[in-house]
Structure 1
Amino acid sequence: MHISTPITLNMSNLTLYTTRALIILDSDGNRLIAKYYTRGSTQQSYKTPKEQATFEKDLFAKTRKSNSEVILYDGQTVLFKYVSDVYFYLVGDPEENELLLGSVLNGFVEAVSILLKHNVDKRSVLDNLDMIVLALDETIDDGIALESDPNVIASHVSKRGTDTIDVSLSNINEQTLMDAYKQAKERFNLALLR
């Protein structure tokens, strides 16, 4: 006679909040973009800009000569990718699945590459911060991974960008092309801040 024992699962650690931060640094370790997510996190770390800067500096020092793409640092799982002169970091909980985090990071980096026409470098990132931030928001929302398909992310960003610009340009009357461009860019940036 075979007696089976029931399997119990620990469901207390299941959560949608997979990401604590996404950070983009240049080849000197200076911040280009950083977004920290505290919602859903049991550990409220890096609240102040000073704590964030220290974390980023230490993280860069640890990873700049590393051959690995995944490390456990400061009690967190960190995945990173180096493209040209830009470092992309995705920080998650220590129990989080590295494959899930890896697909999110790879999807975001590839979407950025598509949006920047495969010219990912510090200058391109700085010149296109608006698109990069939109891509980040399409990928991760408040620590929840929304999308990992780079083509979907890039198409959503492209669509949002053209919709905003078209609406801005429809209100422009008898202006020079340069004035129209400046006004459209200002309205686009204001729409991003809302």
Structure 2
Amino acid sequence: MHHGRERVSEEGARRGGGGGGEEARVPEPEVNSQLSTSTQRAAAAPSAPAMDSTSPEPSLYTVKALFILDNDGNRLLSKYYDLELYPSMKEQKNFEKNVFNKTHKADNEIAFLEGLTIVYKSSIDLFFFVVGSAQENELMLMSVLNCLFDSISQILRKNVERRCLLDNMDGVFLVVDEIIDGGVILECDPQQVLQKVNYRQVTESGYGFVLFDYITGSEEAQGQRSQMP
């Protein structure tokens, strides 16, 4: 009986690694195959392209220049908001002449010249131009052009031609200043522009009547004009 128990205990000791036998091996933890695969994919995936440092940053200064020419390409009104674009009067007039030569016989409304985007519109013997950078949104520039044209058309009683424009240059300059300030677009709604021009005329005019009343022929404005010396 004792000998049987000793054999059993010896076999158990050998199985349990007791005595001088080999050390028991600790099982290695299983590696999560899903985690391993996703990590490998992430390492193999191409990195996202870096932002192009040469691309221009968005800017509020949308309009580079604005000018109105007659049907011979002569300047009637001009505003340059980027002084580094064409610093001298000579450079500005050369640019305007080049723009006129390229556009006055074209049917398009958009032109690209000297790295600039130009939108334009004509009426009888006048040409209206709005200039932006090459990356500028043409629709934004076109909204400025349409607002300019429609506002001036109201001031000129829809007689958008050279003689009427020259007779109302003060009002035209006010319209331009209400639409754009230093290249930043302030307003693209002609009615809002005319209301602001109306207010400025009230506050600045020594006679107390406004340009908008004058062109719409209100009785009050006509009465005030008749009392002028």
User: TM-score if structure 1 supplies the norm length?
Assistant: 0.78
Structure 1 unpaired stretches of 5+: 171-176, 182-194
Matching residue of 1:190? none
Q: What CA distance in whole angstroms lies between the structure 2 residues aligned with 1:137 and 1:8?
A: 40
Match of 1:184 in 2: none
Q: CA deviation at 1:13?
A: 1.5
1:131 lines up with 2:157 in the alignment: no
What is the identity percentage for the equivalent residue pairs of Structure 1 and Structure 2? 39
Q: How does 1:51-66 map to 2 (within 5 A)?
A: 51-66=91-106
Runs of 4+ in 1 over 3 A off after TM superposition: 5-12, 177-181
Within 5 Å, give how 1:35-50 maps onto structure 2. 35-38=79-82, 44-50=84-90
Note the C-alpha offset of 1:162.
Answer: 2.8
Q: Which runs of 5+ in 2 are unaligned?
A: 1-37, 209-224
2:57 — aligned with what? 13
Instruction: Kindly report the root-mean-square deviation, in angstroms, between the aligned alpha carbons of the 2 structures.
Output: 2.5
In structure 2, the residue matched to 1:169 is 207
Tell me the secondary structure at the aligned position of residue 120 of structure 2.
strand
The alpha carbon displacement at 1:6 in A equals: 8.1
Task: Please point out which of 143, 147, 152 is paired with 1:112.
Answer: 152
- Distance in 1 of aligned mates of 2:118 and 2:149: 15
CA distance in 1, matches of 2:148, 2:140: 12
Match for residue 86 of structure 1 among 126, 144, 150: 126
CA contact 1:112–1:154 (8 Å) conserved in 2: no
Which residue matches 2:76? 32
Structure 1 residues 164 and 13, CA gap change in structure 2 (3 angstroms): same
Q: 2:180 aligns with which of 101, 115, 140?
A: 140
SS in 2 for 1:113: helix
Do 1:110 and 1:150's aligned partners in 2 also have CA atoms closer than 8 Å? Answer: yes
CA contact (8 A) 1:108 1:153 kept: no
1:83–1:120: 8 Å Cα contact kept in structure 2? yes
Q: Distance in 2 between matches of 1:135 and 1:148?
A: 11
- Tell me the amino acid that sits aligned with residue 202 of structure 2: T
Which fold has the larger relative contact order, with Cα–Cα distance below 8 Å and residues 6 or more apart in sequence?
Answer: 1
- The one-letter amino acid of 2:207's match is L
Q: Deviations over 1:125-175 (max 9, x none)?
A: 10101000000000000011111101111121122113322xx237xxxxx
Partner of 1:46, secondary structure, is coil
User: Structure 2: how far apart are the matches of 1:178 and 1:68?
Assistant: 46
Amino acid at match of 1:21: A
Q: Which residue of 2 aligns with 1:158?
A: 198
Which structure: larger Rg? 2
Cα 1:76–1:12 shift into 2, 3 Å:
closer
